[in-house]
Every structure is written in structure tokens, then in C-alpha cells.
Amino acid sequence: MIQGPNSFGSLLIGQLAGDALRGVLEIAPECLTAEAPMGWPFVAQRLSAVLGGQWWPKVNGVTWLLGRQCRWLIEEDSLADIRAAREVCAFLGVDQAWSVGGCARRLLKFVGPSMHREACRERLLNQISLGYHDCQPGEHTYARLWDVSGCYFNLLSRLPCLRCTIVRDGVLWHQWLPDEASRWRDVLEASRHAKVLRNALWGCALGRVEAGDCYIRGELRKIVGSSGPFRAAALLVGRSAWELCRLASIETAAVYSQTDSVITPRDVAPTAWASVGLDTVVQASGAADIRRRGVYRVGSKETYWYHEGSRFEEVAERPREPSERWYDRWLP
């Protein structure tokens, strides 16, 4: 139901009728759910041309920024994850957003003020891309998919402090500001069962890695977002996860590796993650068909694009060994 002729929903329906936006439902004065058959970038482009402000398309919706006002248009399927994040904010007395990322940013602000970016020295860690990946396409009569349980979240929770400086010889850990440590522990504990929020805490602590799509006055702009409030610590976590995944890939002779998981035809369990106290589980096993990043089948488990019929192959060679290892400089 759309409340009133001047409501957010009425405003959008007046500008986007027909096939561009369907099933608009107001769940809060500042948030609507809807379907976008023509895609969220199309919706953002059309609305920005007539309503002004910044329109940021996402995978599952679009965010409208107009001055200090913020409005959300989201897919209904994403509501469960958003409400789980909002419940964490409400429990801790933090202002809520209608996006998981918005909730994560507000929770990090609740923990404490941002660090200066110059304290990051990120060039020392940016020799590799975030998110390890290699892929050797092919079919296998039997393989196992090993996955780390909550990799990024568990590494975040192991940090001695969110405040640190990366130096050539290692990591210089700063002191928590008053009450920050207890607030961070509260955020970690409250977020433990909200999987999407857990990952967003790491991503928002890092900040935008590359320019994002934004529509202004009907035109696509590439806008570089700001660094996250605890970028150095987040980069350290990302770099450590990359190194551990690479080691697991090598020791298991994996045919596919991605961030925190490996697929191997060998009957061997990875030990790299276990060596630093991270638990691994077998997510799937059986006949395997590996195609490319995000497109594979192991046993009865199929990725979305594999299920949709995508079959072309793309090799991704194992990245070279980094000149330095960082995970063993801080993980016990």
C-alpha cells in the first residue's frame, strides 16, 4: 500500500509506470520494495533524470541520496537480511538504515571515530587483489568443496585492535580509545548470527576499493567512495585471507579456489586455515564440473549461473607467490 499522493512510493510510481517498476509496496516512509524487470541501473537512470539527487544502483535495489535525506528502493528477497541487520542496530541503540551496508557503517561509527588514511600505508599490502582466485576448468568424477566458516568475520574478531598502522616490518597496533573495545565486542557478539551483516562489517571498515556507479541528472558517473573508518585493519584481514586461501589451494592441488574455499579432487583436507584456528567444513562432494569464476557444480551444489546454463570456460592461473607474508605477523 502506498500512503498518500505525496509519499515516496507515489512519487516513484508517477515517474516509472509500466514494466520498469512493478509491485511497489511501502514498508516504511523512507523505504519501498519493488521488482525491476529492466534492472536497477535503468531505474536509477530514469529517476535521476527527473527527481534530482544521487541514485546508486545495487544488485538488489537502489539508494537515493538528496542532501541529507536518504531513501531506499529494494527487492523483497533482501528484506530478511536487512531486517536482521536492523535488529542488531536496534539492540545496540544505533540508528537503523534500510540497507545492510548502511547498518554496518552506522555500527562502525558507533564503535569509534575513523582513523586517518595516512596511517594505513596500504601500498605495502596492495601487491595483491582482494579475494584470492584461481580456476582450472574441467570435469572430475569426484571432488570436495571445502569452505571456511565465517572467514572474514572470524579474522576481524581476532584483531588485537581496529586501530593499527601498517609498517614495513609489520603491524603497529594502537591503543583503543575509551570504551571502544567493549563496543566492538558488543557489535561482534550481536552480529554473530547475521551473515550478510558480518561480511558488510569488513567491507565497510575497508571502504570502496574502486569507483562505483551513480546516476545524476540521467547520466552515469563513476564516483570514488571514501576510505573505510578502519581501512588498515580491514586490508590486513583481506590480505591474510588471500594468503591463507593460496596456501590451501596449493596444498590440496585445488582445481578451483575463491576467497575462503577450495575445490579439490584429492582426498585431503586443507590445513592452512586450521593452522591459525579457522574451522573448515565440506560444503559439497561428488562429481564436479568447473567452468569459471562463480560457475561450477560439486555434487548436488550448483552456483546460480551454472544452474542458469552458463557453460563457457575461463582459466584463471594461480597468482604468483607474494614477496611477503602478513598473516603470520599477527595471527597466533
* CATH number of the domain to which 304 belongs: 3.90.1600
Does 84 fall in a domain? Answer: no
Please count the other Cβ atoms lying within 10 Å of the Cβ belonging to residue 316: 15
DSSP β-bridge partners for residue 61 = 58, 74
For the chain, what percent of residues have pLDDT higher than 70? 90
Angle of the 180-191 helix axis to the 151-158 helix axis, nearest 10: 160
Does 184 fall in a domain? Answer: no
115-128 tens-digit pLDDT: 876 555 666 666 55
Q: How confident is the model at residue 166 (pLDDT cuts 50, 70, 90)?
A: confident
- The pLDDT score that the predictor gives to residue 321 is 76
Q: Left if phi > 0, otherwise alpha if psi is -120 to 50, otherwise beta: which for 188? A: alpha
Please count the other Cβ atoms lying within 10 Å of the Cβ belonging to residue 88: 25
- The pLDDT score that the predictor gives to residue 318 is 80
**18 or 130: which carries more pLDDT confidence?**
130
Does 203 fall in a domain? Answer: no
Does residue 110 have a pLDDT over 70?
Answer: yes
Does residue 4 have a pLDDT over 60?
Answer: no
Burial of 117 (0-12, 13-18, 19+ CB in 10 A): middle
Mean pLDDT of 196-221: 91
Kindly tell me the sign of the dihedral angle through the C-alpha atoms of 240, 170, 225, 107: positive
- The pLDDT score that the predictor gives to residue 130 is 73
Domain coverage including residue 171: 119-175+225-329
- The pLDDT score that the predictor gives to residue 5 is 40
Distance separating alpha carbons of residues 6 and 8, to the nearest angstrom: 7
Does residue 67 have a pLDDT over 70?
Answer: yes
Does 53 fall in a domain? Answer: no
Residue 309's contacts (CB-CB under 8 Å, 6 or more residues apart) are: none
- The pLDDT score that the predictor gives to residue 211 is 81
**324 or 268: which carries more pLDDT confidence?**
268
Mean pLDDT of 108-120: 82
Does residue 287 have a pLDDT over 90?
Answer: yes
Does residue 18 have a pLDDT over 90?
Answer: no
Across the chain, mean pLDDT equals 88
- The pLDDT score that the predictor gives to residue 117 is 64
Does 310 fall in a domain? Answer: yes
Distance separating alpha carbons of residues 291 and 255, to the nearest angstrom: 10
83-101 tens-digit pLDDT: 999 999 999 999 999 999 9
Does 51 fall in a domain? Answer: no
Number of domains comprising the chain = 1
Does 321 fall in a domain? Answer: yes
Mean pLDDT of 132-147: 95
**4 or 327: which carries more pLDDT confidence?**
327
Prediction pTM value: 0.89
Does 229 fall in a domain? Answer: yes
